[in-house]
Chains A and B, each alone.
Chain A
Amino acid sequence: MNSSNMDEKLNALISALPDAIEPSRDLWPDIAARIRAVRKPAQVITLVSAKQVKLPATSTGRRAGSIWSKRPAAIAAALFILVSLSAALTILSKQPGVSEEGWTVTGIAGAPTIGRIGMNREGAIGVGEWIETDGESRAQIEVGNIGQVELQPNSRVRILRAGADEHRMALDRGGINAFILAPPRLFLVETPSALAVDLGCAYELTVDERGNGHLNVTAGWVALEFHGVQSLVPAGAACVSRPGSGPGTPYFLDSAAEFQKALSDVDLGHSLDASLPELLAASRVRDSLSLWHLLPRVARDQRALVWERLTELLPAPPGVTREAVLNLDRPVLDQLKEDLEQFWF
């Protein structure tokens, strides 16, 4: 049979594949048990505005509350002022040229605000709008259909983009816990010191009063990026980013205290001649995560020391040579990373 016939036969077989394949057993009981253990899906309710204010009906069908029942002119005036104020604040809080799409927000504690307006337990946030929490409040944001972000107390985020191809927010201060189930690079968080790019994961990201970012990944991967510098942070690892210099070197949280101290000094450029040897001496196989990231970030002489420590910890994979690594040959560095990754989980 020639190639063309083979292709035809293959195409015919593909067309004949059934659309559905029933599972070997009924999966519903397990699914039902799992969804009973979680909350019901949040209602999609837009931000409460004056237009939506309704007072509870009494048994006679009249609205409760004496002033509201007795003074219709006062109601109309109050509603007009509230609607106007709501519209004005919404316009003020939006960026020009942004879409009207938004995400559902659920208040978890306290009284979060959207665009300076207090929200009920549930609301919606649009592109260009800010959501803020005070010391007592927390909120959960449904990020399109790809995941959730919990906003910690004393935090402020703005939605920058809510399209199907990109979900982007800015974290100005405070912290978020993100759980995202999506292909890589679909969810991004801008901070004053770096861009956090979701690669399919769960993580905590905080921004302190100086604009430093602190990333702690609990599942999957996150990339921190700033002006061409990238740090890849896997589950169990953390990374600090600083305004102006971007992401530092990622490290595993279970690494030795002296390793973390030395790494912080190296990242800050403090007495590199002393701190780098300390760091290398305290490194384990798993800390090859940090060592690999350091390779392009240090001078060639220091890079040679890092390479030597790496090869003490693990034999170099075939094709990865000292010279290529010292020359920062990108494909070779990628190959080295592929080999080292198995020790990062």
Chain B
Amino acid sequence: MKKKICKKPKLVIFIISLVIVLSLVQLTISYWLATTGEKMRQWEEKTTLLEQQNKILSEEINRLGSLARVNEEARSLGLVKATNVLYLTPQIPVALETKKLPEAR
């Protein structure tokens, strides 16, 4: 009879310890999941924001890069078209040395 009483507390302690350990594990995992989920949400938000800003910037580049706008801007700054273009080409000499002459001895 005594022996039976002695065995029960060990089992109870084991079960209670197991429950406590598993609860802690579950708590840790839940915490980890919750914080990772929140981090993911923040990253997703950041990605969406960056994508949107990227889109806005691309649209702005397209608008500002238009030749019609650049031309208008250049005119308003007082720039004018080159009307008299002068090409500087090297003059071809009258006689070209194509073969080395034999040296005089």
A binds B: no
Which residues of A are at the interface with B, using a C-beta cutoff of 8 A?
A: none
User: B residues touching A (Cβ–Cβ < 8 Å)?
Assistant: none
